[in-house]
Amino acid sequence: MKQLLTEKPKVLKMLEVDVPRIKKSTDVLVQMKAAGICGSDVHIYHGTSPVATYPRVMGHEIVGVIAEIGKDVTKVQIGDHVIVDQIVSCGECYPCKIGRPNICCNLKVRGVHIDGGYQEYLVAGEEAMHILPPQLAFTDAVMIEPMSIAFQSCARAGITQEDTLFILGAGALGKSLIKAARLRGARIIVSDVVDERLAEAKDLGVSVVINSKKEDLAAKLKEYTTWGPTVSIDAAGFPGSLPLLTDLTCNAGRIITMAFLDEPSPVQQFKITAKELDIRGSRLQNNKFTEVIAAYTQGKIPIEGAVSHVIPFAEAIHAFNRIDSGDTSIKKIALSFE
């Protein structure tokens, strides 16, 4: 079978390797059908991921068909369409014990710490399988994982229809957050420095957008919210973003961080104390696949246009080169194995 190996940063190789074999009686063999390319995959490829190890088979937005099952497998059958959970947790540590395996102390993420889905077949435990409705196209289903990240963030923030949510950044993550937060009925305000992204945010139903390069963000937020947003989500992640959000967010508000930024952010502790701000991280997703699959299947989240390019898996190296070339038409690439 074909396998795309990131031997080390910036070195991708398309290899011919043996199909992996089931090891445990609860393992399944998944024949890959589609795999998304995420910004974090590009970081792993470039060598700028703070967590990845090499050599690595990337791919954590991975969907396929069950090709073989171990003798004790009960959750899935051969032929089921599945999305593979990106999280492998130990079940023993404190976060695992309190039901938060996404931040397991021994966390392994497929495609990051262990091999993922940029290969024609993958073996994983049955517990990682989430069944997809057969009518959902594989190349659309790659959007489930990135959307689960947005659902997690909204859950961490505890967003309700009472909230005014400010999303800093209208890139891929910001747009997923808009779609997720709209389901919770929150009022949404989005800022970015690129008008085109703000126009896309408007198309997704956001009534108030602010170009923070051209307009005074703090003044505009004051105008639109009086007391400031009750929830702010950082979908931009630069050293100044967290201090900015401690300024802009309403007293008693919540701030969600999502970036893997390892540069320090100079935050004044006084602002957190004086406003009793809750600053919460949001990582990966905790048990969100079922909800996201249902939202897509019921048409609550628009699927059209999310994937901008479908590229055959055999041309995956070309796909990464194309991203490097700065092709702005690329919003989301789904590698197709069919």
Do residues 291 and 130 touch, judged by C-beta distance below 8 A? no
Q: Is 38 in the site for Mn ion (CB under 5 A)?
A: yes
| Residue 165, CA distances (Å) to 158, 225, 237, 243, 280 in order | 11, 10, 17, 17, 15
Q: Which of residues 12 and 333 has its CB atom nearest to Mn ion in the complex? A: 333
Distance of closest approach, residue 95 Cβ to Mn ion, in angstroms: 21
The set of residues, in sequence order, having a beta carbon less than 8 Å from that of 103 and lying 6+ positions away, is 95, 283, 284
Residues 138-197 that bind Mn ion (CB under 5 A): 146
Q: Which of residues 186 and 316 has its CB atom nearest to Mn ion in the complex? A: 316
Which helix (H) or strand (E) segment is 290 a member of?
Answer: helix 289-297
Q: Is 37 in the site for Mn ion (CB under 5 A)?
A: no
Distance of closest approach, residue 101 Cβ to Mn ion, in angstroms: 17
Q: Which of residues 64 and 146 has its CB atom nearest to Mn ion in the complex? A: 146
Residue nearest to Mn ion (CB): 38
The set of residues, in sequence order, having a beta carbon less than 8 Å from that of 261 and lying 6+ positions away, is 237, 238, 239
CA atoms within 13 A on the CB side of 251: 6
Q: Which of residues 175 and 254 has its CB atom nearest to Mn ion in the complex? A: 175
Q: Which of residues 258 and 277 has its CB atom nearest to Mn ion in the complex? A: 258
Distance of closest approach, residue 12 Cβ to Mn ion, in angstroms: 18
Distance of closest approach, residue 146 Cβ to Mn ion, in angstroms: 5
Residues 196-235 that bind Mn ion (CB under 5 A): none
Which part of the chain contacts Mn ion (CB under 5 A), choosing from 30-38, 102-110, 133-141, 248-256? 30-38
Which part of the chain contacts Mn ion (CB under 5 A), choosing from 31-39, 216-224, 264-272, 291-299? 31-39
Does residue 133 have a cis bond before it (omega within 30 degrees)?
Answer: no
Q: DSSP 3-state assignment of 83?
A: strand
Only one residue has tokens 């702005």, namely: 328
Contact positions toward Mn ion, by CB under 5 A?
38, 146
